[in-house]
Amino acid sequence: MPFKSFQVLFSSDKKFYQSLKKILGFYPTNISLYKKAFKHKSVVTENKNGIKDSNERMEYLGDAVFGAIVANFLFKKYLYKDEGFLSKMRSKMVSRNHLNKLAVKLGIDKLVEYQSDRFSKFKSVNGDAFEALIGAIYLDKGYKTTEDFVVHRLIKFHIDVDELENYDDDYKSKIINWAQKERKKLRFTIEEEIGNRHNKQYKVAVLIDDAVMGKGIGFSKKRAEQEAAEKACIDLKL
Amino acid sequence: MPFKSFQVLFSSDKKFYQSLKKILGFYPTNISLYKKAFKHKSVVTENKNGIKDSNERMEYLGDAVFGAIVANFLFKKYLYKDEGFLSKMRSKMVSRNHLNKLAVKLGIDKLVEYQSDRFSKFKSVNGDAFEALIGAIYLDKGYKTTEDFVVHRLIKFHIDVDELENYDDDYKSKIINWAQKERKKLRFTIEEEIGNRHNKQYKVAVLIDDAVMGKGIGFSKKRAEQEAAEKACIDLKL
């Protein structure tokens, strides 16, 4: 064990250091990076440069690095799938919802610092900290170690990729709920029926307040509606 | 020069190989990756696995890798800027418009294979091939070489980062033009005036066919309208 690590073990950081080792599988070098990764903006004030010294910059970096590693992992796992499938799988893996769950599995929720009376406003504090942690690993150890962590630890032990593959968001329900809440007029229309009765496809549009927000094609009306709703959900960031 | 490279120089790939060296600054190892990177979907047919062997999968990969490298470059260049600024700068650098221009600067437009009679439909064929090229470098040489290429060659010689920093898209004009073309009803409304007359901010909404598509806040109506229009442009993928 290098001298630096030895020192840290006798400091007040000992517990944090050991928690990190358990999550990461390796000893961090620059521990201050990891401390910052767990600092939510609710617990920091602006520094002299007018910047809040929270984990937000690291979250931005970690988001991009995680995206690249996941893209490459899927590219190599699914040799015979097209880019549409790969993009969709990546979206599922990096979704805020999935990252929040992943963060809790890793125990990140126990390390994040935030002001609890304001917590209700910050639904994605754990997922954000997860991304910031990826940023911290990247800054501390470089791309290769980050990739090893994501592929051989995170994906291997904590992400069920096959389950995600079969998991299909119900976008139609999602947009119907949203429209009710926002008091928008929502309707699906069949724009076209393509092919003959043995091999018919439906082209469906979803309209919000009479403006087309998405279109979908499918062998069933249900499938086409889901596709149209999915496009609208993405545009509306639901 | 390794034997493999020597062989290639005497093959029919010689010209392609030399063009690549000029763009990349290094000799490629697996030249078939680069060939694929320049194959637009208009010139390929489905293979036995039902996959079109075009550059689209590589484009997906290159997009993610380029995003991570640019994110890291900006993170280190702008130490005192917040994640909002960093995200915006990254969007400018990876925008389809910017990548198309970059591809032409690099001479990628002379290497891309596409079916020219269908070209008019494919506005971003060069930018897409640029991303696929990044994917090919990553698969051929790994992350470090790709990062070196992007930072020490691409950004250094072909991207004026400071100019991009000051460049502000005129989103209002963009959405007005789009609405005219698509025959949509477009209007901006002031929703709220916040503060007193010495320090007033405007909250503006942009409506398309009477549905709110974006909101913005600014110390001038013009600024607020730009912000609202920008959000709508992003949602509409303009």
Q: Which region among A106-110, A119-123, A124-128, B131-135 has the lowest average model confidence (pLDDT)?
A: A119-123
CA B12 from chain center: how many Å? 32
Active site residues of B: 63, 131
* Contacts A178 to B, Cβ<8 Å: none
How far apart CA B10 and CA A96 sit, in angstroms, is: 52
DSSP code for B39: B
Give DSSP secondary structure letters for B163-213. Answer: HHHH----HHHHHHHHHHHHT--EEEEEEEEES-TTS-EEEEEEEETTEEE
Compute the residue count for chain B: 238
Q: Which of B54, B58, B143, B236 to mutate to test the interface with A (most CBs of A within 10 A)?
A: B143
pLDDT tops 60 at residue B4: no
In chain B, what's the furthest Cα-to-Cα distance?
76
* Sequence-ordered list of residues with C-beta below 8 angstroms from that of A136, at least 6 positions apart, any chain: A28, A33, A34, A36, A37, A58, A62
Q: Which of B53, B65, B88 to mutate to test the interface with A (most CBs of A within 10 A)?
A: B65
Domains and CATH numbers, chain B: 3-166 (1.10.1520.10), 171-235 (3.30.160.20)
Query: For B172-223, how does the pLDDT look when each residue is reduced to its tens digit (9 = 90+)?
Result: 888 988 888 888 999 999 988 887 766 678 889 999 999 999 998 887 788 8
How far apart CA A147 and CA B144 sit, in angstroms, is: 13
Query: What is residue B169's predicted lDDT score, i.e. its pLDDT?
Result: 66
CA angle A36, A38, A43 (to 5 degrees): 85
pLDDT tops 70 at residue B99: yes
Q: Which region among A70-79, A138-147, A187-196, B144-153 has the lowest average model confidence (pLDDT)?
A: A187-196
Q: Average the pLDDT over A181-190 and give the result.
A: 91
pTM of the model: 0.72
